[in-house]
Structures are given as C-alpha cells and as structure tokens.
Amino acid sequence: MGFPFNFYLAAFAGAFFATWLALPLWRAWCLRVGLLDDPGRRKIHDQPVPLAGGLAVLTGLLLPLAAGAVFLRVNTSMLHPLRHGLERRGLELTAIAAGALAITLLGWLDDRHELKPLAKFAGQVFIALLVAAAGVRATLFVPNVWFSYAVTILWLLTVINAFNFADNMNGLCAGLGAIGAWLFAAIAAARGEYLVALMGFLMCGALAGFLPYNFPNARAFLGDAGSHLVGYLLAVMAILPHFYTRQHPRPLAVLSPLLVLAVPLLDLAWVVAWRTRSRKPFWVGDTNHLSHRLVRAGLSRTRAVLVLWLLAGAIGALAAL
C-alpha cells in the first residue's frame, strides 16, 4: 500500500490552524506573566512585544501529532508504511521529540531569565548529545562513531545558533524556517521518506500559521524558544534523510542541506567573522546581519526580508536537482 499523499496536506493544514488559533491564547498569557521583548538599543520595535511565537509553534506541532496518534490507533489497518517507519525508528523519534521540548524550554528560560552564554551553550550541547546518542547522526562517509558524534553535535549547534542569529527582523527567522522545512519535506516526499516529509510539512504549516502575527508588523515574536526550536528541527531533518544511497549514488547530494539552509548559515558565518575581526564576542548581538545591511543599502525592512526569503528559496531549490 502506497502512502496517501493527502496526509501531507492534512499535516500542513493541521499545524497551520493549530498555531494560528493558539497564538492569541499564548500572546494573552505572555502579556499576563510579563514574557515580553522590551525595546532597546539594538531593537527595531518601540513597544514591548509578547514572546509567544515559540510556544504557539510548539503547540502547532504537538496537537496534530496527538491527533495523528489517535487516528493511527483507531484505524489500525491503515498507513502500513508509516506504522513500519514509526516502529523502526521509534527510539530516534522519541529522542527527537524530547529534544524539541528541551530546546524550547532552554530558549524559554533564556527569554525569561537571559541565561549566560556558557549556560545556554551547555544546554545546547547536552540536547545535541542526547539526539546523537539515540542514533540520529551524520557520518559524512567516515566509519567512526566518535567522528559521527562530533560532526552531529557541531551541525546541531551551528544550525540552532544560525536561526537564533537570524531572528533579527520581523518574519525573517520564521520565513526562512518555513522555506527550509518545505524544501526538506518536498525532497523527502519525492524519495519516499514519509516520516521526514510529514515532519517538514508539519513544521512548515506551524511557521506559516505564526507568520501573520509576525510579518510585516509583529504582534508576537518567536523569541529564543521559537528560534531554537526552528533551528533544532531543521538540523535534525537534514540528518534523517538518506541523501546518498547505493540506489542513488550521488555523493554531491549530501550538499543538499547546505543549499537548503544556505542563507542562515551564510549570515552566521558573516556575523561571526565580522565580530571576530572587530575583536568583539561573537555571541553579543549587533546590527551587521545581512538583513541589516540590506536595509542600510536602501531597502525597507519588509523588502529586505522578502529578498532573503527569495534568495533562500532560489538556492534551496537547487537541492532538489
């Protein structure tokens, strides 16, 4: 039995509406408890904005997953390919889910208490180690378990912080995340990787449900909880598929994740190099991101974000080729 592709549409739509409906509730909660991003020297907003996006996106992921679990339990004769994948990769998926909750909690703690860089970095390393220990690892064709641990942890840390850095203008991080998730989902669906495709369409739908509240005018921000979650899930989705197999012997295909995530990775590399050359700590924010430079070149903030979205989509589309 083939996989029913309308389930991809259901995953996207379910995550979209769950996030879209949950956001006002989380926004009201953030206003009540004071979980706000206040204006400051490096901020582009002049009023406190609720940091509700990450919690809403997580809700948009969890509610459709719960509904899907109930559906699978009731309809025991359906979706044999999906059921087989869930059984075969159960440990990995459990670790990924636990990691998603943990990375969101870490980001929420940073939003709430402004964690010191070392504490936040230690939390990221622990979560990456948890995922790698569960078997979600990249190998880069090197048959050495310690190498696979090292490259997996480095990859997760890089992508998580790339999206954390990219959360510097309305809609930028969420839009780049939605584009990346869609591309990973499309590539995985074309190759019959149902679980990765479903994860990608869920994430794309959740971020699309958040964007109306964040772009072009922001009534809510992702916060570190949201940007950490986006980066984490995209990093995991880049590892899960088999971009190179004996049936499809294309070594250059392992570059697909780099193409899909090219814009946030280039922005991270640029900012770290700039701050290092300026003898500033690379973890201290500034206004030298690609988006800020486009604005200084004469674009509006909205157009700068749209240009980076277009660039991400164009480069990422090469991954499908």
As a whole number of angstroms, the distance between CA 272 and CA 283 comes to: 8
Asked if residues 132 and 152 have their Cβ atoms less than 8 Å apart, the reply is yes
Residue 142 carries which DSSP code?
-
- Does the pLDDT value for residue 205 go beyond 90? yes
pLDDT tens-digit map of 136-184: 888 877 888 999 999 999 999 999 999 999 999 999 999 999 999 999 9
Single out the residue of 199, 222, 228 nearest to residue 103, CA to CA.
Answer: 228
The average pLDDT across 113-128 equals: 94
How far apart are alpha carbons 81 and 221 in whole angstroms?
A: 37
Q: Which residues of 28-45 are buried (b: 16+ CB within 10 A; e: fewer)?
A: eebeeeebbbeeeeeeee
Q: Can you tell me the distance from the alpha carbon of 202 to that of 9, in angstroms, rounded to the nearest whole number?
A: 9
CA dist., res. 78 & res. 119, Å (int): 45
User: At 4, is the pLDDT very low, low, confident or very high (cuts 50, 70, 90)?
Assistant: low
Please list, in sequence order, all residues whose beta carbon lies within 8 angstroms of the beta carbon of residue 207, skipping any fewer than 6 positions away: 19, 57, 174, 175, 177, 178, 181, 230
Instruction: Look at 20-29, 70-79, 223-232 and tell me which has the smallest mean pLDDT.
Output: 70-79
DSSP state of 76: T
pLDDT for position 82: 62
pLDDT number for residue 1: 44
Ordered alpha helix ranges (H), 212-284:
223-239, 256-260, 262-277
At 98, the pLDDT band (50, 70, 90 cuts) reads very high
